[in-house]
Structure 1
């Protein structure tokens, strides 16, 4: 993947040149720095990327390892792998599906792209980098002839409503724009469709350990 585009920073009234490419070893320190900024406590620090994990990513499935530069500075990344699913039983944890983020469960014969991670440096969130990365990954799904993209989304504002709403009720209110959730609302605007909330998906206090499974279907495959 090597794609040039542009983004408009409304905050500073500037146009920025964006470059989407596969990340490499030279980017590891910056990618780890972005993780720490994008997922501060109470998000568990042990879930931040390590150099060992990133090395395994680019060795196992480089096509699923994208980063985005803003005027030459790496400002975000998205990592995926290939897998298969039992459509009748989608329940799983992020840990077991991704082998603790190492991608050792990558299946080169799988027909589904699974999102391991998407993160953007908070200093660059006004430019729409997450949507650019997501769109680029949709293009990769099409190029590889995969059936769909699936990912589990954090629900970071659910902890404010857990005493009064079930996860399903919370998601429905977000879908109807009665509640804004920074992750789910973003994914819906980026073309993802909700499937179901999964209990104990990931250790995440803000999401009450839930993750919303979402999908994007390849329009060129029935």
Structure 2
């Protein structure tokens, strides 16, 4: 897949440091994935780790893993439990029927190219082609909730602007990409201060075969 010279491919083990660099420029310091985490993800499930490359330079990254459906219904859900602290070593299930999108990072100077949308589209289409996948999900950030924290989170995630778009840009991004809102999860990442620790479970459709 290409977009204006951009090539999307699977990440290689030796690229963990470059992937972490992209993530550091994409996320708050307390949420960015580390070189060690990317290296562990590639070792655990290389097929779900993707990069966008421009003339040999990694400009965007995306991670995913497979998990069992029962994990989503087994007590409190949080980021560290679902992802083995961002490593996937013990959380990835090769036979898992749920494809979990973890995160996307894009270098600031490449965001005008809508690489975030390109990476999501690629991950979703890849997952739809996998045998045994019944759901494609992600736990995303209601990134502007800190500005509206006096509003109940249930109201915030569905509040729309005068133009009809969701108030939250990250939730709007996923819905524009074809996802739907499923559920709200408190204390998913307590260190995510802008989201006040919340995450929203979103789901992309998987066509019946």
TM-score by length of 2: 0.89
Q: How does 1:141-220 map to 2 (within 5 A)?
A: 141-145=127-131, 146-163=133-150, 165-174=151-160, 177=164, 179-202=166-189, 203-220=191-208
Paired residue for 1:135, among 121, 125, 135?
A: 121
Give the root-mean-square deviation of aligned CA atoms.
2.0
Structure 2 Cα separation of the partners of residues 159 and 120 of structure 1: 23
1:93 maps to 2:78: yes
Match of 1:78 in 2: 62
1:56 has 2:40 as partner: yes
- What residue is the counterpart of 1:120 in the other structure? 106
Structure 1 unaligned segments of length 5 or more: list them. 7-15
- Name structure 2 gaps, 5 residues minimum: none
C-alpha distance in 1, partners of 2:156/2:38? 34
Q: Contact between 1:174 and 1:184, CA under 8 Å: does it hold in 2?
A: no
> Residues 36, 139 of structure 1: CA spacing in aligned structure 2 closer, same or farther, 3 A cutoff?
same
Report the equivalent of 1:13. Answer: none
Superimposed CA distance per residue, residues 131-182 of structure 1 (whole angstroms, 9 cap, x where no aligned partner): 111111112112213112111001110000011x111101111498355323
Aligned to 2:96: 110
C-alpha deviations, 1:12-68, integer Å up to 9, x for none? xxxx2110000113322221111111113xx51xx4323322222111111100111
Helix, strand or coil: the match of 2:157? Answer: helix
Moved over 3 A (4+): 86-91, 174-180
134-143 or 203-212: bigger deviation: 134-143
After superposition, give the CA deviation of every residue in 1:69-110 in whole Å (9 maximum; x if it has no partner).
234321111101100224666851011000100102111111
Work out which of the residue numbers 13, 16, 25 in structure 2 matches 1:28.
Answer: 16
In 2, Cα distance between equivalents of 1:139 and 1:133: 10
What is the CA-CA distance between 1:121 and the residue it aligns to?
A: 1.4
